[in-house]
Amino acid sequence: MRVFKFGGASVKDAEGIKNVYDVLQKVGYEDVLLVVSAMGKTTNALETVIKNYFDKSAELNSSVQEVKKYHNQILMDLFEEEKHEVFTAVNNQFSDLEYFLAHNKSPNYNFVYDQIVSYGELISTTILSNFMSFMGIKTQWLDVRNFIKTDATYRDAEVDWELTQKNIAKNVKRKILNITQGFLGSDENNFTTTLGREGSDYTAAIFAYCLNAESVTIWKDVPGVMNADPRYFENASLLNQISYREAIELAFYGATVIHPKTLQPLQKKEIPLFVKSFINPLLPGTRVAKGADLEPYLPCFIVKRNQLLISLSSIDFSFIMEENISEIFALFHQFKIKVNLIQNSAISFSVCVEDKFENFKDLNAILSKKFKVDFDENVTLYTIRHFNDKAAQTVEENKTVLLKQVSRETMQVVTKES
């Protein structure tokens, strides 16, 4: 079995849905499992719904209606008449969403977040599955929450691999086109969980691992994995092949083409990963596999914006030792703050972090009791794998360098625009 993942950009409108059908006609769809994201910017739109819900905003209903209108237009563009059963199926899903908004009693933001954003994937796969059937391809729609079981860490759930393996091996049919949702799972009480933002790639890897798949293909609007994001760097080049090790390094530092969690399960079973263009599906793209060397051996640039640079120093000029660092990292873990760069000296300790849950204010109140805390907001972290002098100059030019760290293969620079 092959596993394909289509992201939001590939299914953002009716033409995108039709293009998925065309891609499958060209590359084959028998014995394939599709993992599909929410359509376009639906997750962002549902995040607005969540904000309005917690703010008790008068805009709540209109924000839901905007999401409904967007999907209804896609339905109207795909199907000849409103009598098709997909209209009822999608309306029922929106009714479920509205029922949750009206009756939920939980004040837990992360719990509510997962219950609401999940409708993006549930609706997109319902539309896609019905369109494939409409076009004559027999499909099986799978509710991924019945397959991927997790703990109850909402918005960043950990997979229960044993139970997930059992569910997938037992219930996924072969020799048919299976369609399921990315990003989602469920806990032991069957409440919806999510695997972290951009977690659909990880979903594809989970299914591939449990099915001993032939390969995983991530379909994107780029030719494959580039050595730099074309939005930020001119003359970005395609990487034809990458080893698992190199891909994991790039993902760890924040390369957005491949989700950081995606590669470990694939590497364990040596399942190759392809990143290909849904615009030109017959092009070879990038292959990630065992033993494949980076081709060509180019500097690879990774950019992480909206970072927070924190510098801690001891109030009494004592050394910052292992016990201090251990305590600091325990707090980072407690407040779900992701550390992307570390640098320390005798009496100071600097970290570049990501505060996606906006917990730094509370963390700072605790840290300030024991340390002098300085911080810079909205900084940019550049990481260059296989750097050279020209590559370093590219990221430092016309910027204020706040922190720089160099190892044999990797350079990291924290900057602010000058």
Over its C-alpha atoms, the chain yields an Rg (Å, rounded) of 23
- pLDDT higher at 172 or 321: 172
pLDDT tens column, 271-324: 999 999 999 999 999 999 988 666 667 899 999 999 999 999 988 888 888 888
Per-residue pLDDT, 230: 84
**For residues 276 and 258, what is the distance between their CA atoms, to the nearest angstrom?**
12
How many residues comprise the chain? 418
| Candidate from 93-102, 143-152, 239-248, 330-339 with smallest mean pLDDT | 239-248
Per-residue pLDDT, 102: 97
- The average pLDDT across 123-146 equals 97
182-221 CB burial, b ≥16 within 10 A, e <16: bbbbbbeeebbbbbeebbbbbbbbbbbbbbebebbbbbbe
**For residues 196 and 212, what is the distance between their CA atoms, to the nearest angstrom?**
24
- CATH number for region 300-417: 3.30.2130.10
Domain limits, CATH 3.30.2130.10, in the chain? 300-417
Per-residue pLDDT, 248: 84
Share above pLDDT 70 across residues of the chain, in percent, rounded to a whole number: 98
Q: Give yes or no for residue 177 having a pLDDT over 90.
A: yes
Joined tokens for residue 173: 């049919």
User: Residue 348 in contact with residue 357, Cβ under 8 Å?
Assistant: no
pLDDT tens column, 3-46: 999 999 999 999 999 999 999 999 999 999 999 999 999 999 99
Q: Which residues pair with 338 in a beta bridge?
A: 354
Per-residue pLDDT, 323: 87
**For residues 275 and 306, what is the distance between their CA atoms, to the nearest angstrom?**
27
Per-residue pLDDT, 94: 98
pLDDT tens column, 405-418: 999 999 999 999 86
pLDDT tens column, 324-340: 899 999 999 999 999 99
Joined tokens for residue 242: 């990458």
Per-residue pLDDT, 292: 61
Per-residue pLDDT, 81: 82
User: Cα 187–191–193 angle (5° rounding)?
Assistant: 65
**For residues 412 and 307, what is the distance between their CA atoms, to the nearest angstrom?**
13
Per-residue pLDDT, 165: 98
Q: Give yes or no for residue 67 having a pLDDT over 80.
A: yes
- The average pLDDT across 74-99 equals 95
Domain limits, CATH 3.40.1160.10, in the chain? 2-220
pLDDT tens column, 227-259: 998 888 988 999 999 998 888 888 888 877 687
Q: Nearest-CA neighbor of 96 among 82, 111, 116?
A: 116
Q: Give yes or no for residue 197 having a pLDDT over 70.
A: no
Phi/psi at 301 (nearest 5 deg)?
-105, 130
User: Residue 64 in contact with residue 97, Cβ under 8 Å?
Assistant: yes
CATH superfamily name and code, 2-220? Acetylglutamate kinase-like (3.40.1160.10)
Q: Give yes or no for residue 213 having a pLDDT over 90.
A: yes
**For residues 76 and 131, what is the distance between their CA atoms, to the nearest angstrom?**
12
Class of residue 162 by CB neighbours under 10 A (exposed 0-12, middle 13-18, buried 19+) = exposed
Q: What is the largest CA-CA distance in the chain?
A: 75
